[in-house]
Amino acid sequence: MFSWIGVFIALTCFSVTFQTMFQVYKFELKDKTLYNNPGNPIDFFLLTFTTFVEPYKINWFPSWSAGKMLALLWSLFALLMVSFYMSNLRTNLIAPGLEPEINNHEDILKYDKFVHVNILFIFLCQFEVSPAFDKVLDSVDKKDGWFSSVQEDGILEPHVEAAVLNNGDAYLSSDENVLYSYLFQKTLGFPNLRISNDGLYNFYMSMRFKKYSPYTPDINHLFTMYQEVGLFQKFLNKPIPIIALPSTSVGSQHESSENLRMSMEMLWTPIILLACGTFAGGIVLLFEIAMAGHKKMV
C-alpha cells in the first residue's frame, strides 16, 4: 500500500513539475522545426536526453545551469520510476498467475488444480500427521487422485508430462518410483526439480519434507515399518519428495513472487536522488540569481 502511495505522489509531482517546466520554457522557442521545437511535453521529455549528447546547444533547453540540472534530474527520476513501476506491474499481473505459491499443506488445499498422490501415501492415512496434510489426503481420496508408481507400457510418463505442463496438475510422489526417476531425466526434472534440506520447501516445481519434518511428526513410524519389512531402506537416510508441478514456470524466478514486488526500499533510491538533486539545483539557482544581479549592478 505504501509503495503505491509513494508511486502516486512521486508521479503526480513529476507530472506537475514537468508541465511547469514545459510551459515556462515554451515561450523562448525560436526554431520552428520539430527537432528543435517540441510541440508537446512528451517531445520535451524525449529530447531532454538528446541535449546531453548533441554537439550544439538546442534552443528550447534551459540556459541556466539550474534548469539543466533539473531537466536531467527529472529525466533520470522518470526513468527509474518507470523501471520500478513496470517491474512491479509485471510481477503483480504475470508472476502470481504463473507461479501459485505452495509453501505448506494449507497452500496445497488452496491449489485450484487437480492434485495426484502416489498410492503408497495411502499408508499415511493410518497415522496422525499434520491436520492440513490429513485434509490433503482426504481431498485426494474424494477426487480419486491416487496413481500407481508402476509404469505400464509407457503410459505413465506421457500422462504425467501432459497433466503437469498442460493442465497444471500437482503430483505428490515417494522416492523410489518411476515418476520420481522420470522427473530427473526429462523436461520436468533439473533445473526445475530441487532437493531441499528444509522441513517443507517450495521451489515452484518441487517440494520436500524430511524424515523428521515438524509437519509430519508421526511419519517416522512409517519409515520404521518400511525398515522392518525391508522396503525402501533409503528412506532412513533420504527425504521423501513431494513434487508439486504447476503448469507454467519461470526458472529464473527462484524466489517468492512477494520478494519481487516493489518495496519502499526500492522507492527510496529515486526519491533520495531526487531530493539531493533538487537541493543541489536550488543552491546553483540561488548562486546564478546572485551573479545575475551582481552583473546588472556592474
DSSP-assigned letter for residue 123: G
Domain boundary among 210, 229, 249: 249
Whether 255 is in a domain gets the answer no
Q: Would residue 254 count as lying in a domain?
A: no
Asked if residue 145 and residue 231 are part of one domain, the reply reads yes
- Whether residue 197 lies inside any domain: the answer is yes
What string of DSSP letters covers 20-31? HHHHHHHTT---
Detail the DSSP E strand segments found in 66-151: 115-118, 146-147
Whether pLDDT at 175 is above 50: no
First to last CA, the chain: 56
Model confidence, pTM: 0.31
> Is residue 48 in a domain?
yes
| 182: containing domain | 100-249
Q: In what order do the strands lie in the sheet with 240-242?
A: 201-202, 207-209, 240-242
Confidence bin at 69 (pLDDT 50/70/90)? low
Task: Note whether 91 and 116 are same-domain residues.
Answer: no
pLDDT in tens, 115-124: 666 655 554 4
271 occurs within a structural domain: yes
Name the pairing type of β-strands 240-242 and 170-172.
unpaired
Q: Chain-wide mean pLDDT for the chain?
A: 55
Asked whether residue 91 is assigned to any structural domain, the reply reads yes
* CA 46 from centroid of its chain's CA atoms: 30
Q: Quote the cell numbers at residue 92.
A: 503483480
| Alpha-carbon span 277 to 281, nearest angstrom | 6
**Do 238 and 116 belong together in one domain?**
yes
Is residue 218 situated within a structural domain?
yes
Are 22 and 131 contained in the same domain?
no
Stretch 79-99: mean pLDDT: 56
154 or 95: which leads in pLDDT = 154
140 with 199, same domain: the answer is yes
> pLDDT tens-digit profile of 133-152?
667 667 777 777 666 655 55
Which of 27-31, 155-159, 267-271, 273-277 is the least confident region? Answer: 27-31
Tally of domains within the chain: 2
202, β-bridge pairs: 207
Percent of the chain with pLDDT over 90: 0
Rounded Cα distance between 147 and 118, Å, is 5
108 and 229 part of one domain = yes
Classify residue 92 as exposed, middle or buried by CB count within 10 Å of its CB (0-12, 13-18, 19+).
Answer: middle
pLDDT of residue 139: 74
